[in-house]
Every structure is written in C-alpha cells, then in structure tokens.
Structure 1
C-alpha cells in the first residue's frame, strides 16, 4: 500500500414521473457509482498566481456546477466519516478537500462553496497560524477559519501537520525522513508531538472533532501513520488517485486531483469515471419500510398486499412484490421492487427517499434511518 502511494506521487423530489429518479440528482438521473466516494483534492484558488496546483475561481466554480448538473452529490467530512464507519452515502458521492490552509480558500473558494451549498474541508498547516501573511502564499487567520466553521454546518478543518510540511536536506519529506542523529524513539516523538500540536492549535476554531489529517505531499510510512493515529487521527488522506471505499485503510484514504489548471469540468468528470470501482452483483440497501416510517416520525399500516405509510400530511402506499407505489393519488414506478422478507415489507433506501422527497441516510451502528442534514448557513 505504501509503495503504491509513493508511485502515485510520481505519476425535494424531482417530479413524479413514470420513472422515479434518485433524490438530489437535480439535472441528471444517471447513477455512475454507489457506495464509494470521489474525494477531490485542491490547494490554491487565485486569479493571478500560477502553478500546477492553482486554479482560477471561474474554473473552480465551473467544475462544481458541472458536477452538480451531472447528478453528483456533495457530502460533508462528517458524512464521509460516517460512511467509513458503515453509514450510507448518496449515489455519485463527492467530498471536496483542500490542503495547506491558504487564505485563497477564504477569499475565493469559500464564497463559491457557500453560494452552491457545497461542503468542503481544509487541511491546515498550523505553524502558519502564528503569522498568516508571512508565508510565501498567505494563509488563513484563526479568525477567518473560525468564522467559516461557525457560520455554516458544511465547512470543516483538519490537520496538515504543525511544522512538518517541508523537505529535509536529504530530500525526504519531514514527516517520514530522519533528522541527523535521530533514533527511532526520537523520530516517533517528533511526529507524535507535531500531530498533537496541530490538533491543539485547531481545537478552538471548530466545534467538531479534529481527527482527520492530510499527509504533506501525500507521503507517509508505517511508522508515521502509527504516530499520527496514536496522537488522535482516525482518518488520513493520501494522494493515491483512486475512489474511496469503506473497505480501504482509514489512514490511507485516496484522493483524486482536481486542482490543476488543465482539469476542465468535462475532464474532471471523465477522471472520476475512469476510477469508479466495479460493483458486480451489488444490491441496493433495503430497509424495513414500517420501521423507517416510525423513525422518521410517521406511521405504517399493513393491509393485504399493501403497506400504507403516513409521514406528516402525506400518505403513501407501497405495493408488495411490485415496483409500484402511490403518493396521494399519483402512481409512481420505483427502481427496485417492494418485497416481503421474513415478515417485513422492505424498500430500497433510495426509492424511499425519492418517494417522500427527502435525502435519507442509514446508520448501521444505530439501525436507524434519518433525513440527511442539508448544508446551511447558520
């Protein structure tokens, strides 16, 4: 796995039609993938600066709007963590990540993300918080970070180390290389204390857990990963260009680069498509329809070959052993049949969400179905 990382461094209801489309696929009913996440990586958004990891505001906005139009669903860092622990995510799920904590995230990227209600996480080099304008590329201040995390429920922060984002004289990344005369114990303490320092400096800037990190340059080693985990990191991101799945090592999460100037919206779409993991024979998640209705604050009543649900002021009827349901007097065709299994009437989670016009998530740890919390400005 580590060798592979090193190699990679080099190189509301959308209409009641005859076919019910997935919820939130605003302009496209295509399902490109399920139960996996395209984690996108960005660094710098600027109109004048140029580099292989800098894009303009217009390109950034065009990328995001294009993905939205194609039916991609953007999730938050918290939703991604829940997914890695077993929860569901929408089809075509995408997580936006930024590295380095540059001020351009606040001045250029954040307004776009806020206007489109798209979640994102920025992995911050906390040593730069002491003098944000003193770095080669200006960094965000503590006040700017705190403003974003507290003004919304969809902007998050994480660690990009405190003071290990550089190369040693021998060319190795500071996170994995050894200093002169540094023994194994000294090295472990250096990485461990740096990670603790990073978490500590971010602690007052967000109300959410600080347990995510992006490795500088995407480089890590078994020894480094062991120490960041010991310091409290549970989710760590590399630059291995693959789709993220919950079966992957939570401390070696892959990401797909989206932040280079030559990556057009269509090229980004194709880049994601090339990396989608085949899921032969995978079946959609099914839930107990009556239990789900109760968990959502409604009720259910079985009668013959039907299950009648009531949620708020809406009435729904599910036809058992058919891809059919009704909402009020309107007939709806589902993607998957409603089934009676072991005495329970089950429905595909996506179908239930689309039927009631609410994005749903299922959490195995609790066995409950709930409505996804939408991105919002507080």
Structure 2
C-alpha cells in the first residue's frame, strides 16, 4: 500500500511568466528568494490535472489520511494521491482554491508564517506575492495548513544552504513553534528548497516534527521514512496526460 504526493507552488495564466528570469517573491519580511519557472504551473493545466485525478483511477486523499496511514495503520484507497502547495502565493487563492473546492478535492498548504502580510495586496497575475493572513484563512474549508518555518525559508550568505539549516537549534525550535501556533498540523513539515541533511533530521525529531516532505520523486510506502516523504514536482508545461504517465511509470499504488 502506498501513495503519491504532488507539489505545486504558483499557478499562472499563459503569457504571464517571464521568459528571462525567475519571479521575485514578495513577502511580508526580508526575503531574497526568486521562484524558478519550473515551479510554476499553468492554470488550465492544473484544472485538467484535477479533472484527471477526479475522473480516473486516482483517489485524492487528505493529510489526515496520510497521518492515520502511518500512525494508526489505516488503509488508503488504491492509487492514492496527496495534493500539496508550498509558500502560500496569492495565485493559490485566486486559481487553485476554487478549482479544488468545485471538485471537493482536499489539499495541504505549507505556510511560511512570517511571510504572510497583515493586509492583502491587490492581486497581480504577473507577480509572485504571498497571501495575507485573512486570505489564507479563507481557504480553510479546502486546505489543511502545515509547517514550512516562520522565517527560515531563505538562502544563507553562501547560497549553498537554507537558513533552516544554518539556524542554531534554539533558533530553529523557536521558529517552528511560532509557525505551529498558526497552522493546523504543526508537526507536519516541508523542507525549504527541499534541502536537508542527517543533522536536520535529528533536529526535526527534537522539535517533535512527525512528518517531513522532500522534493524527491517517488511513491511513499509504510517503509518510507516519515521524515523523508517523497513529492513529485508538477513542472511548468506538464499537462494532465504527462502527469498521469509519470504516476503510472512510478507505479500504481496498491
């Protein structure tokens, strides 16, 4: 028995993505992160992907079902798929939320708490702007919110590690605790930039994180380490059939 996890970040209409450079991310705190094109998905592709998941042999599951699979030994439906988004961009509310709600498909949003602003900005379909607190809260009937740090989603001075990795253990514990006060599932985490080491695994255990999601593709089984769960990046230009073929190539879940 196993499941797949899909990872999205930003949704865009065609013609709104720069061909020349990554999209600078605007957040409520200081941040020098830029989103590469590969981490976008076109709105029409996303809608067709959701139709494919809903109308074919795949079964979309919730994060609670994943937790129960590992903690309680409960079964999952065949061909189970978990949908996740990282960072809480406004496009998730503008595009993904209504598409998922219409189809009654649950999803999980990994939130960087201090990136959320106190007041919403006007939506600009060509900019990568993180939501306000009130915007995120509008989606609670579809999304489960999980931990993506409070303010440790940045590159260090060398550009080789994330600040999640370079923070002291005391700083990390305090940061995760702050995010935990906002999200629904504080002990479920996604690695900033997908980067981690064995040291980071040990520190997450110290922080009482039970499940962590990587950016490594592949199916998850009961034997998969709960702190190294696999996720499939849904890359820009990937249509519904291409996604289906990736899932099938990776092996149906039984």
TM-score range for the pair, normalised by the shorter chain length = 0.7 to 0.9
Give the superposition deviation at 1:138: 1.3
Q: 1:273 to 1:163 in 2, by over 3 A?
A: same
The answer to whether residue 94 in structure 2 is matched with residue 93 in structure 1 is no
Written as runs of structure 1 = structure 2, the 5 A alignment for 1:195-210 is 195-200=176-181, 202-203=182-183, 208-210=184-186
Contact 1:84 1:246 survives alignment (8 Å): yes
Which residue of 149, 155, 165 maps to 1:167? 155
Which residue of 234, 239, 242 maps to 2:215? 239
CA distance in 2, matches of 1:83, 1:168: 36
Gaps of 5+ in 2: 19-36
Contact 1:165 1:173 survives alignment (8 Å): no
Partner of 1:267: 242
Partner of 1:212: 188
Partner of 1:118: 105
Give the superposition deviation at 1:277: 7.1
Higher relative contact order (CA 8 A, sep 6+): 2
Contact 1:36 1:244 survives alignment (8 Å): yes
The answer to whether residue 24 in structure 2 is matched with residue 49 in structure 1 is no
Contact 2:106 2:143 survives alignment (8 Å): yes
Aligned residue-pair number: 228
Q: 1:223 to 1:193 in 2, by over 3 A?
A: farther
CA distance in 2, matches of 1:63, 1:240: 20
The answer to whether residue 133 in structure 2 is matched with residue 142 in structure 1 is yes
Give the superposition deviation at 1:220: 1.1
C-alpha deviations, 1:100-153, integer Å up to 9, x for none?
A: 11111111100000001111001011111245659x72112211222221xx2x
Give the superposition deviation at 1:225: 2.3
SS of equivalent to 2:171: helix
Give the superposition deviation at 1:176: 5.5
SS of equivalent to 1:113: helix
Contact 2:110 2:189 survives alignment (8 Å): yes
Written as runs of structure 1 = structure 2, the 5 A alignment for 1:1-378 is 35-47=1-13, 48-50=16-18, 51-85=37-71, 86-130=73-117, 133=121, 137-149=128-140, 152=141, 154-175=142-163, 177-178=165-166, 187-200=168-181, 202-203=182-183, 208-258=184-234, 260-276=235-251
Greater radius of gyration (CA): 1
Between 1:83-92 and 1:137-146, the stretch displaced more is: 137-146
SS of equivalent to 2:108: strand
Give the superposition deviation at 1:84: 2.0
Q: TM-score, normalised by structure 1?
A: 0.57
CA distance in 2, matches of 1:241, 1:257: 7
CA distance in 1, matches of 2:210, 2:189: 8
Gaps of 5+ in 1: 1-34, 180-186, 280-378
Q: 1:141 to 1:90 in 2, by over 3 A?
A: same
CA distance in 1, matches of 2:117, 2:52: 37
CA distance in 1, matches of 2:226, 2:177: 19
Q: 1:176 to 1:100 in 2, by over 3 A?
A: closer
